[in-house]
Chain A
Amino acid sequence: MIKYILAALILGCTAGYANNNFLTVVPNTLISDQLFTLALIALLFVFGFSFALDKNAVEKIRKTGFRIVVFPLLVAAGSLVGGLVAGLVLQISLGGAMAVSSGYGWYTLSGPVLGELLGAKWGTLGFTANFFRELITIITIPLMVKLDRFAPVASGGGTTMDTTLGVIVRYCGKDTLILAFSSGLILSIIAPFATAALASLA
């Protein structure tokens, strides 16, 4: 399945680049915004539907229970430590590095917010680092799922409620839907505050 996903990603990138820089066939936002949102809504509906068709769905939700809240907090803490270590390795401002890693993969948030708060240099870093987090999650998902069934959900961070949700549920199983969505949702709500708070330390 990763073949289809990589093909779609590469094809999408090429089409988007060509449409933006050479021959504009459609407005960029028609695909990257409207079609994206539409596909996402359809995806949430289809996955929600097939998840609930399972007779043990209610039991599975109950089993997830406590994890729903703790999981994203562990991911947030892990990202924070990851940013700290990266700051030490790269010898850049630790607060800045932690602010970047606290975008949890949401690059369209992290880039602009850090650009605003810390200047363009950090904005570009926020963009790049969080973009890579999303990209790595999508590309390495067949490997990560072997490491741990929930590793892709941890890796995806805040993107597991939208961009990486489909790939994750296809690879990690239908019952990861609720955990992945709620983890992504909670991290996406924390992200702007965490980013801004940590940026003030830089």
Chain B
Amino acid sequence: MCLLTCRKSVTFSKNGLQKLKRQNLQQQLLKVGRNVEEKIALFDPLTFVYLIVPLVLGILLGYLFRDRKLPKLDKASLAVVVILIFALGFGIGSNNELLSSLPQVGVQGLVIAALAILFSIAFVKAGKKLVAKQ
């Protein structure tokens, strides 16, 4: 009898634990949802403009200096790429929403990403062949 009650209480606590876990998950998801509204407010199409300006400026200056012998910018460009990727990684590592969503839907996300990449490459390759034929 005692054994039975014990087992019962164990199952109870197990159920309770699962319930607790589920609630935790829901709370987490709700938190993600709330942050969404803030993020959407941050989305600004004008962002594109301030990226085009340095690109065009660089191209114009490069064009003006094209006849002069200049040191190769290989090292500088690698350094900038490394800094950029570091900052990107920093953004990933400090993004708790992203990190908490990875274990939840990681496999599904991976499948969608892989197939989107695969078909994008396939479409581009097919398009290239079509252009080459004409």
Q: Which residues of A are interface residues toward B (Cβ below 8 A)?
A: 1, 4-5, 8-21, 28, 31-33, 35-36, 39-55, 57-58, 67, 70-71, 74-75, 77-79, 81-83, 85-86, 89-90, 92, 97, 100-101, 104, 107-109, 111-113, 115-116, 119-121, 123-125, 127-133, 136-138, 144, 147-148, 150-151, 153-155, 157, 161-163, 166-167, 169-170, 181, 185, 188-189, 192
Contacts and interface: CB of A to CB of B under 8 A. Distances in A.
A136 B123 contact: no
Contacts, number: 329
Contact of A112 (B36, B61, B90): B36
Nearest to B89: A12
Contacts of B87: 12, 31-32, 35-36, 39
A11 B57 CA distance: 32
B81 A166 contact: yes
Given A49-B59, A119-B33, A97 B77 contact: no
A143 to B, nearest CB: 12
A150 B124 contact: yes
B98 to A, nearest CB: 5
Contact of A32 (B33, B50, B94, B108): B94
Measured as residues with beta carbon below 8 angstroms from the partner, the interface class of chain B is 35 or more
A170 B77 contact: yes
A126 B78 CA distance: 31
A199 to B, nearest CB: 13
B116 A128 contact: no
A20 B93 CA distance: 8
Nearest to B74: A50
Given A136-B113, A166-B77, A45 B108 contact: no
- Main secondary structure on chain A at its contact with chain B? helix
A115 B86 CA distance: 27
Given A101-B116, A120-B33, A51 B59 contact: yes
B60 interface: yes
B90 A97 contact: no
B30 A120 contact: yes
Contacts of A8: 82-83, 85-86, 89
Contacts of A51: 58-59, 62
B118 A74 contact: no
B124 A78 contact: yes
Nearest to B126: A74
B112 interface: yes
User: Which of B93, B98, B104 has the largest number of chain A CB atoms within 10 A?
Assistant: B93
B3 interface: no
Contacts of B57: 45, 48
A86 B125 contact: no
A190 B80 CA distance: 28
B58 A45 contact: yes
A3 B35 CA distance: 35
Contacts of B95: 16, 32
Contacts of B125: 148, 151
